Structure 1
Amino acid sequence: MKHVYAFESKSEYDQYDKIIQKFRKKLNEYEQILKRDFLLDDSPNAVVWTSTQLATETFSTIPIPAFTNENVIYMSPDIEEWRKLFIRQLDNKNLHKIRLFYESYSEEHLIVILAHELTHHLDLFVDDFDDERANSIWFEEGMCFYLPRKLLLNEADFQQILQVEKELIQEFSSEYGHHSLDDFGIESYTESLSSIMFDYWRSFIQIHELVEKRYNHNILELFNDYHHWHNQGRKIPLTQFFSIYNY
């Protein structure tokens, strides 16, 4: 992958150069794991490193400064802006411990965001970027968080983010928990940030439950059953196929 820098001044690039170089190394290591173990055959052509403002106002209109398409990943390395974003998703609720977690959101967790975007390129996923991508978005989005968190975070950090997102689901379930995970993607990015993130939290937690409790950590076996559901014509919702009723 090429690495392209889209900043409005050299001083802005210089501000982020150190973290970008660190993330480039980590991303390359993660890419090799995906190629070896999870059928990453076609990596994107480039990562475009840019500011939060350019990512969310010029290169896209989504409020999250990391995204990917078939050829390019866009990523803001500005950890302070990411911290503000994650605190904003709390909607001013009295969640002191979670707020403290996001106020000190670490580089280790931020590299997961970048790795999440690369994970979307696995050939193990059945939907292509130009597909409508309906009915199973939760599986892909949940796996795109589970894999990099499991592979890049230490166990303490993994358990911490797992607990944070479980608590967030509980906190927001009365507001946003009235639809199936199969409806992931119906909400638009013009909705509140918390409503957007709610299904990402649920998807990650559900994939964690499937991998570590139902499939005994055998991720490829889980993918095999996901492929079976798809190859049989998606006759029932994916949550029903996996007997998921509590999310």
Structure 2
Amino acid sequence: MKQVFAFETKEGFEEHQSMIEGFNEKLKEYQFELEENYALKDLPKAIIWTSEELATTVFSDLPIPAFTNKDNIYISPELQNWRRLFLAQLEDKTNTKIERYYENMSENQLLTIVGHELTHHSDLFVDEFDDEREDAIWFEEGMCDYLSRKFLLSDEEFNEITDIESEMMEMFKDRYGDHSLDEFGHASYQGSLTSIMFDYWRSYLTVKYLVEEKAVGDIKQVFSEYQSWHNEGRKKPLTEYFEVNTLFR
């Protein structure tokens, strides 16, 4: 993968250069893990490191400055802006623990967002980037979160983000949780940030349950069942197939 820097000023690049270089070293290890065990065969052409403003206004109109397509990963390394963005998820609610967590969000947590985008390129996911199918998005998004966090975070960091997102989901399930997980993104990117992120929290926690509870830690078994669902013709919703359609409701 090429490393492309798309900042409007030299200073913008230099401010984040050291962190980006550190990220790339850690990503090489994660990339190797995906290639060896999770069918990462075709890498994106480049990671495009850019500002939040350019990511959300020039390269896309998405409200979150991290995304991937068939060719490239786009990501902002601006940690302070990520902290601000995640704090905004609280909307009109207050929660001292969650506020403290996001105010001090670590570089490692930002690294997992890059890892999440790279994981989308695994061939174990049955839908292609240009597919219009929407009935299994939750599984791919949740698994991308799970794998990147499992391999890029310490156990303590992994448990901490799990606890935070579990609490966030509980706080907002009455406001944003009235739809099936199979309708991931039903509010689309025209919804509020929190309504968008709610589906990510629930997807991650569902995949974590599938791996750690139902499959007793066997990630590949979960992938195998997901692929069987697809190969058998997707005869029922994936949540029903996995028997998680009432989980976290």
Which residue of structure 1 lines up, in the alignment, with residue 247 of structure 2?
246
Q: Give CA-to-partner distance per residue, 1:15-35, whole Å, 9 cap, x none.
A: 110111011111111111100
Deviation, structure 1 residue 188: 1.4
1:23-102 alignment runs, 5 A limit? 23-102=23-102
Q: Does residue 196 of the first structure (1) align with residue 189 of the second (2)? A: no
Q: Distance in 1 between matches of 2:88 and 2:47?
A: 26
Q: Distance in 2 between matches of 1:100 and 1:92?
A: 16
SS at structure 1 position matched to 2:74: strand
Matched letter for residue 247 of structure 2? N
**167-176 or 185-194, which deviates more:** 185-194
Q: Distance in 1 between matches of 2:161 and 2:42?
A: 29
Q: Distance in 1 between matches of 2:216 and 2:203?
A: 18
SS at structure 1 position matched to 2:188: coil
Q: Does residue 103 of the first structure (1) align with residue 103 of the second (2)? A: yes
Is 2:38–2:124's contact at 8 Å kept on the other side of the alignment? yes
Identity %: 50
Deviation, structure 1 residue 133: 3.1
Which residue of structure 1 lines up, in the alignment, with residue 136 of structure 2?
136
Q: Distance in 1 between matches of 2:186 and 2:70?
A: 21
Deviation, structure 1 residue 50: 0.3
Matched letter for residue 246 of structure 1? L
Q: Give CA-to-partner distance per residue, 1:172-203, whole Å, 9 cap, x none.
A: 01101111000002221121100000000000
Q: Give CA-to-partner distance per residue, 1:179-229, whole Å, 9 cap, x none.
A: 100000222112110000000000000000000000011111111110000
Q: Distance in 2 between matches of 1:117 and 1:202?
A: 18
SS at structure 2 position matched to 1:199: helix
- In the alignment, structure 2 segments of 5+ residues that lack a partner are none
Q: Does residue 14 of the first structure (1) align with residue 2 of the second (2)? A: no
Q: Distance in 2 between matches of 1:66 and 1:50?
A: 10
Which residue of structure 2 lines up, in the alignment, with residue 186 of structure 1?
186
SS at structure 2 position matched to 1:115: helix
- In the alignment, structure 1 segments of 5+ residues that lack a partner are none
Is 2:116–2:148's contact at 8 Å kept on the other side of the alignment? yes
Flag as ranges the 4+ runs of structure 1 deviating above 6 A: none
Is 2:146–2:208's contact at 8 Å kept on the other side of the alignment? yes
Q: Give CA-to-partner distance per residue, 1:32-56, whole Å, 9 cap, x none.
A: 1100110100010100000000000
Which residue of structure 2 lines up, in the alignment, with residue 171 of structure 1?
171
Q: How many residues are aligned here? A: 247
Matched letter for residue 121 of structure 1? H
Is 2:206–2:247's contact at 8 Å kept on the other side of the alignment? no
TM-score, scaled to structure 1: 0.99
Which residue of structure 1 lines up, in the alignment, with residue 124 of structure 2?
124
